[in-house]
Amino acid sequence: MKNDANIKEKIYWIGEHSFEIYKNTNKSILESFDNQVLLYSRIDSDAPISNDIIYLDEFFPMKERNYLVADLQKPISYFMKDRKIPFEKGLIVGDASEIIVQALVAVGAFEFGDLYSREEIVADFEEVHKIETDTETLREFNMVDVSGFSILFLNEAMPFKDSLETAKEYKAKADKTFHHVLKQKNQEFNMSEFLFHLENGLNEAVSKSNGIELN
């Protein structure tokens, strides 16, 4: 997955669930990657101050925005663009039952060719973000190209019927958006093992790691 031996592959750890996995992953293996953790708010967080951790409500002005998919799309897009490494895409790790992960998928899965969705999203942005609503402005300020990224969905941390249905919906959107979509299929999946093999390519990481599948 690497394009340049001097550039570490980027891993975005999105949300509280992926952060827990990150904290429990072998540190020597993590050092082989350029890690960036994205959490929503520092409030009630017990995470130490670290350059690896970004809180979205401190990175982007969140006034008049709530923890909703529509409200988080613009901040998420800004974050992804700001943290992009030239010539490198990388891997996103997250739990599809978490709203911050759903917002990231929604940013990437938006299709300008779908007139109904366009009008719906324009209305949301006009009300929430107070920006110009022509197509080019939306593309510049609210969308981010994630088509080259792979995404790994963790088992849902909130196994309630409604959250599982929502997670399934966003996984389906991700299948049409990301370069590769991986899913944790059982508890035997070991992130350290997966990342150890990832340096030799995604296919090897999937084939040699237990509890994961590649769509």
| pLDDT digit string, tens, across residues 81-131 | 888 766 668 999 999 999 999 999 988 875 544 433 445 544 544 444 444
Which H or E run includes 53? strand 53-55
Q: Give, for 182, the enclosing helix (H) or strand (E).
A: strand 180-184
pLDDT above 70 coverage of the chain, percent: 79
Output the six-digit token pair for 181. 């979509």
Q: Give the mean model confidence (pLDDT) for residues 56-61.
A: 88
For the beta sheet containing 180-184, the strands, ordered from the edge strand earlier in sequence to the opposite edge, are 53-55, 34-39, 10-14, 91-95, 150-154, 180-184, 212-214
Would you tell me how many other CB atoms lie within 10 Å of the CB of residue 123? 12
**For residues 202 and 149, what is the distance between their CA atoms, to the nearest angstrom?**
12
pTM of structure: 0.82
Structure tokens at 196: 């150890």
Share of the chain above pLDDT 90, in %: 44
The pLDDT score that the predictor gives to residue 110 is: 59
Mean pLDDT of 30-54: 85
Task: Enter the tokens of residue 83.
Answer: 């943290």
Q: How far apart are CA 215 and CA 209, in angstroms?
A: 15
User: DSSP letter at 112?
Assistant: T
